[in-house]
A and B are shown apart, each in its own frame.
Chain A
Amino acid sequence: MGWRARILATLVLLVLTVSPALAQLRAVELYAPRAFGHVIGDTLTLTAEIALDAPFVLDPASLPPPRALNYWLDLREARLEDHGVRDGVHRYTLDLVYQTFYAPLEPRRLTIPAVALFAIEGERRVPVEVPAWSFLMSPLREIVATGPGPAMQLRPDIAPRPLPTTPLIRGLALALGVALLALLLLAWQMGWGPFGRRCSRPFARAARAIPSTLATAPGDPTLAASRYARALQALHRAFDATDGKGVFAEDLPGFFERHAAFRAAEAEVRRLFEASRRAFFGADPAGAQRELPPEELVALSRRLRAVERGTA
């Protein structure tokens, strides 16, 4: 486990050779950190692997509570891990974390006392002992100071430090960056500012132009017919611009394939092309206006603008 050399102190209690009272205890193996070079305030973790015969379980109430064991030794933590029963053997791992506060003047051997636990099965109780462990503690300072400066020079205080602002500044920059990106994305989606030109919208232009093109004084059928024809042309130019080439009635299936969004208005578009056929090739402007009256032409242009914008 990590950097420290583990010294294995094994206490194997052979089942057949010991008294019947211990027959239920298979083995206690103690894994300890290195047994030397510890200084004041160090923590020491002893790990005991305990194996019991199956019906026996370790009594959790016999675990030592974290406390000061004596004036120099604290038990900080006692963790018991149950590995369950396998092949009739119940295995546990017990971690005991100690902290030593001994201040030796010279290297000195100290002993962490044994821990007495109990295995129980019904009314039967069997003692389980995690063995004692001894180690060498080392001093931190010489007995008589020979270094420069006063003999009992304390290590300096910890000065107050300002609160860290870097994470906040970084977070703020990130949030503002995301906001800017979202704003740009929104502008692109809405066609604001410089994005308006880039994603030019032919149907939007046509829808803007058509009502004024159609506006005419009543009672002048010739003029009205020519204006109607110009309105139709405006809409056709929008189709051409959208597709990048001329769109005729026979091209419509391909157009709808390339611009699936316009399928929503397929019936109206077909009527528009029928009206155009009559107006431009059938020399039947009146029939064309019956097929698609000017009001409906305006409505269609608005509908197509909505489809183009994606808000239909």
Chain B
Amino acid sequence: MRTRRLALTATFALLVASLLAAAWLAARLFVVERDNGLIASLAAGHDLAISAEDPPALLFARLHFLITRDRLDEAQPLLNRLAAGEDRDLAVAALYDIANARLRVAFNHLESNRIDPAIPLVRLAKDNYRRALVLAPGFWDGKYNLDIAMRLVRDFPQIDLEGEELPPDAVKKLWTDLPGLPRGLP
């Protein structure tokens, strides 16, 4: 009978299709588990070489590894790749993390009263925060840290005072009034 044979063929096709799907998913799962292992070992502090073809999550893990060790120059190409990539959340996270890292380095400079090297770092950090906020306008941590960076740069003399809202003579005064920074001075 035709319908019986048709049903038999359909069942067989379903069996083959589901087995193929299962094989593909198992292969994907294997790859993802391997990547997760690499992400975990990067997080545990083992430096692993990452190639450009690796998934964005792995690139981000490596970027995070680099910036937590102040290797910002090596992290920049990874940031460029992530910022241009498809994954918006990872692009935001990469921009935000690298901006945080730059700001932390700038803080270190400021604590030693080295203002000149700190200024470009703060400006780069501001730019990264802004790019992160363009991608995710509701990203509160990014807003908060950008606010910190904005007040820092606003208070420096002799630069293009982005976000300036105080007369220039008030600038230096406010800086020394800011609590906590610079630390260790009389």
Contacts and interface: CB of A to CB of B under 8 A. Distances in A.
B15 A182 contact: yes
A140 B57 contact: no
A105 interface: yes
B21 A163 contact: no
Given A102-B163, A163-B39, A182-B11, A154 B104 contact: yes
A310 B130 contact: no
Interface string B1-43: 1011101100110110011011001101100110110011011
Given A99-B134, A103-B150, A310-B5, A160 B60 contact: yes
Interface string B79-93: 000000000000011
Contacts of A141: 144, 147-148
Contacts of B186: none
B147 A40 contact: yes
A18 interface: no
Contacts of A76: 134
A156 B57 CA distance: 19
B1 A105 contact: no
B143 interface: yes
Nearest to A104: B165
Contact of B141 (A42, A152, A155, A261): A155
B180 interface: yes
B57 A161 contact: yes
B172 to A, nearest CB: 16
A213 interface: no
A162 B145 CA distance: 25
Interface of A is mostly: loop
Contact of A312 (B1, B32, B96, B154): B1
Interface stretch (A118-126, A184-192, A280-288, A295-303): A184-192
B156 interface: no
B143 A172 contact: no
Contact of A43 (B11, B32, B137): B137
What is the size category of the interface that chain A forms with chain B?
Answer: 35 or more
B36 A163 contact: yes
Contacts of B18: 175-176, 178-179, 182
Nearest to A310: B4
Nearest to A144: B179
Contacts of A114: none
Interface in B98-157: 100-101, 103-104, 107, 130, 133-134, 137, 139-148, 150-152, 154
Contacts of A178: 14, 18, 21
Of A41, A144, A175, A178, most buried by chain B (CB within 10 Å of CB) is A41
Interface SS, B side: helix
A290 B86 CA distance: 82
A103 B154 contact: yes
A161 B39 CA distance: 8
Given A154-B103, A165-B33, A186-B8, A99 B26 contact: no
B137 A99 contact: yes
A72 interface: yes
A193 interface: no
Contacts of A145: 179-180
Contacts of A172: 22, 25-26, 29
Nearest to B1: A310
Contact of A140 (B60, B96, B143): B143
Nearest to A141: B147
A92 B180 CA distance: 54
A225 to B, nearest CB: 35
A154 B7 CA distance: 64
Contact of B8 (A42, A140, A165, A190): A190
Interface of A: 39-43, 71-72, 74, 76, 99, 101-105, 108, 139-141, 144-145, 150-152, 154-163, 165, 168-169, 171-172, 175-176, 178-179, 182-183, 185-186, 189-190, 261, 307, 309-312
Report the 3 A-B pairs with minimum CB-CB distance, sorted nearest first.
Answer: A310-B4, A151-B180, A103-B150
21 contacts: A42-B137, A71-B163, A74-B134, A101-B146, A101-B163, A103-B151, A151-B178, A152-B148, A152-B180, A154-B145, A157-B100, A158-B92, A158-B93, A159-B64, A160-B39, A165-B32, A172-B29, A175-B18, A182-B15, A189-B4, A261-B1
